[in-house]
């Protein structure tokens, strides 16, 4: 008896993508099914970068199909997704993801740097914009320095740190020079850094927002076309209070919050292995339940993560096989997968076409 297409579709619909929470059919990941007698060749395309998952998914599909498994192709592709209000997406950037905390000192910049590197490790083209004018940290974390170049005298070229495109006000000033600017000047400077940088064909631009939910953050969220946001917090009650404010800010400007990252969730003693929840326990889970936003991952309070960021080679780049790196990469896949569930952007910014007589 010949194999039927409907039966193969039913089998594939029973496979759940752990990063989006949807099955392959709901995710519109089934691009093709070819039946040849008792065997089926299937073509699966995930809507997010997933270098670290495609082989596992391929094995799972082959096991589910059993003797009916023919050629199984698993790939991925990044799409551009809708931004807030009537804003137009930026040229050469498919998606902008804002990383916020509401409160300083929770490891937001370290998380943003490792998220960018993790998305790159999954196969995406990634950039990071350091939006903290008063305390830029991405130049040091990403191991890049010096004034950026300009090839045309109009736009500036991003620096490259571990393969990621980087831009920061920190490239324009000395590391110990304070920025004594008022809000409007900061907002204008950030918009210039964003729009005057010659970003090169990015799947994702990560914006490391300054802490807080004041005028600067609100103005940026209203003027910058953002596809989604990520909230970084610790389990501590004080940090969670401010993280909730950041979440509500994004709700007001109609930017979807893709999830919560709980940083410094636990500490394991390097001598005896004892695990202790220094900043409390379960805070992000409570916030997730209250606002219906998933927890994308929890990271340990670990000396190595801090040292590697301070030394200009964040954990994902410094230790590709470390347990913390695997957590960052899982967070990256979940972030991108959650974004892939949003509506796609139909207002793609095309270049102007000028016809001249020659």
Q: Per-block average pLDDT, block size 10, for the chain (358 residues)?
A: 85 96 96 92 97 97 94 96 88 95 87 98 97 88 93 91 95 77 79 92 96 78 91 87 90 93 84 77 86 94 93 97 96 98 74 47
Residues 215 and 137 sit within 8 Å (Cβ to Cβ): no
Residues 65 and 71 sit within 8 Å (Cβ to Cβ): no
pTM above 0.85, yes or no: yes
- The pLDDT value given to residue 159: 96
* Of the options 3.30.1370.60, 3.20.20.70, 3.30.300.130, 3.40.1160.10, the CATH number for the domain spanning 5-76: 3.30.300.130
- The pLDDT value given to residue 350: 44
Binding residues for ATP: 102-109
Q: From the DSSP assignment, how many helices (H) and strands (E) are in the chain?
A: 11, 13
- The pLDDT value given to residue 272: 80
- The pLDDT value given to residue 270: 76
Binding residues: 102-109
What DSSP assignment string belongs to 303-332? Answer: HHHHHHHHTT--HHHH-TTSHHHHHHHHHH
Cα–Cα distance, 67 to 42 (Å, whole number):
14
- The pLDDT value given to residue 271: 78
Give the count of alpha carbons within 13 A of 315, CB side only. Answer: 24
The torsion defined by the Cα of 29, 35, 39 and 45, in degrees rounded to 10, comes to: -20
Q: 286 is written with which tokens?
A: 């409570």
- The pLDDT value given to residue 1: 52
Residues 305 and 315 sit within 8 Å (Cβ to Cβ): yes
Domain with CATH 3.40.50.300 in the chain: 93-340
Residue with tokens 């850094």: 193
- The pLDDT value given to residue 347: 64
Q: What is the architecture, at CATH level 2, of domain 93-340?
A: 3-Layer(aba) Sandwich (3.40)
Domain with CATH 3.30.300.130 in the chain: 5-76
């Amino acid at each position: 008896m010949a194999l039927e297409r409907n039966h193969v579709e039913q089998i594939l619909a029973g496979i759940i993508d752990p990063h989006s929470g949807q099955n392959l059919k709901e995710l519109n990941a089934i691009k093709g099914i070819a039946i040849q007698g008792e065997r089926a060749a299937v073509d699966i395309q995930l809507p997010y970068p997933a270098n670290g998952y495609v082989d596992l998914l391929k094995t799972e599909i082959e096991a589910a199909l059993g003797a009916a498994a023919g050629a199984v192709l698993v790939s991925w592709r990044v799409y551009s997704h809708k931004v807030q209000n009537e804003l137009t997406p930026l040229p050469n950037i498919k998606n902008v993801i804002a990383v916020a905390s509401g409160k300083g000192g929770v490891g937001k910049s370290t998380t943003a740097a490792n998220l960018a590197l993790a998305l790159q490790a999954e196969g995406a083209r990634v950039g990071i914009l350091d939006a903290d004018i008063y305390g830029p940290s991405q130049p040091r974390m990403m191991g890049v320095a010096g004034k950026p170049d300009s090839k045309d005298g109009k736009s500036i070229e991003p620096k490259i740190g571990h393969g990621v495109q980087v831009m920061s006000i920190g490239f324009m000033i000395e590391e110990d020079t304070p920025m004594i600017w008022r809000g409007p000047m900061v907002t204008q400077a950030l918009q210039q850094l964003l729009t005057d940088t010659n970003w090169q064909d990015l799947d994702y631009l990560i914006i490391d927002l300054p802490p807080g939910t004041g005028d600067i953050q609100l103005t940026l969220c209203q003027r910058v076309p953002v596809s989604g946001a990520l909230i970084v917090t610790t389990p501590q009650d004080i940090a969670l209070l401010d993280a909730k404010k950041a979440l509500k800010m994004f709700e007001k400007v109609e930017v979807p919050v893709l999830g919560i990252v709980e940083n410094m969730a636990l500490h394991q003693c390097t001598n005896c292995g004892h695990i202790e929840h220094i900043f409390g326990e379960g805070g992000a889970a409570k916030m997730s339940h209250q606002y219906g936003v998933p927890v994308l991952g929890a990271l340990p309070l670990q000396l190595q993560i801090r040292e590697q960021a301070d030394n200009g080679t964040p954990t994902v780049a410094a230790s590709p096989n470390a347990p913390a790196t695997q957590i960052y990469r899982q967070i990256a896949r979940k972030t991108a997968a959650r974004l892939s569930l949003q509506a796609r952007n139909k207002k793609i910014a095309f270049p102007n076409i000028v016809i001249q007589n020659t």
